[in-house]
């Protein structure tokens, strides 16, 4: 697969920042870049070095790629190896299908460009996820110090 196939003009669900990062770091084909999850719960895109001695991971956390694009630093992480990284199988197939939702499964980021809103329902334009508006009342207990003149006498 060529980098041009990830261009945001191909599909509005594709991330302009991911495209810029892939282009800047010479990722001509997606086969070189894979998604990995670390034991501490972070998600990265990059390459696990095949060198049998070093075997360290080179790449960047997803959040940095999505917010900084081509400016996101791409470096080798001394402590990240095959021992504490798990490859996410099928990432690129999912990305090609639903775009940025494959990177942001909880739908935390991207506002209006992502949602089609009708009344109290909204549908993600990229993956089809449906969310309903929930209305609730929030009560919060607070405390403060008050002066009581009667106690003072």
Q: Which stretch binds Zn ion (CB under 5 A): 43-51, 69-77, 93-101, 130-138?
A: 93-101
Site membership for Zn ion, residue 22 (CB under 5 A): no
Which among 23-31, 32-40, 98-106, 141-149 is the span making contact with Zn ion, rule CB under 5 A?
A: 98-106
User: 103 with 88: CB under 8 angstroms?
Assistant: no
Among 62, 101, 102, 103, binds Zn ion (CB under 5 A): 101
102 binds Zn ion (CB under 5 A): no
Given 27, 33, 45, 127, the residue binding Zn ion (CB under 5 A): 127
Q: How far apart are CA 64 and CA 24, in angstroms?
A: 14
Q: Does residue 57 interact with Zn ion by CB under 5 A?
A: no
Least spacing, CB of residue 103 vs Zn ion, in Å: 10
Residues forming the site for Zn ion (CB under 5 A): 101, 124, 126-127, 129
């Amino acid at each position: 697969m060529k980098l041009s196939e990830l261009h945001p003009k191909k599909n509005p669900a594709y991330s302009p920042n991911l495209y810029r990062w892939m282009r800047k770091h010479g990722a001509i084909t997606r086969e070189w870049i894979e998604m990995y999850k670390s034991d501490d719960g972070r998600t990265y895109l990059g390459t696990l070095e095949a060198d049998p001695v070093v075997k360290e991971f080179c790449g960047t956390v997803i959040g940095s790629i999505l917010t900084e694009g081509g400016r996101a630093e791409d470096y080798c992480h001394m402590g990240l190896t095959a021992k504490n990284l798990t490859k996410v199988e099928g990432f690129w197939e999912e990305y090609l299908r639903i775009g940025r939702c494959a990177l942001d499964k909880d739908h935390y980021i991207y506002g209006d460009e992502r949602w089609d809103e009708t009344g109290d329902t909204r549908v993600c334009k990229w993956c089809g996820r449906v969310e309903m508006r929930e209305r609730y009342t929030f009560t919060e207990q607070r405390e403060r110090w008050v002066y009581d003149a009667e106690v003072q006498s």
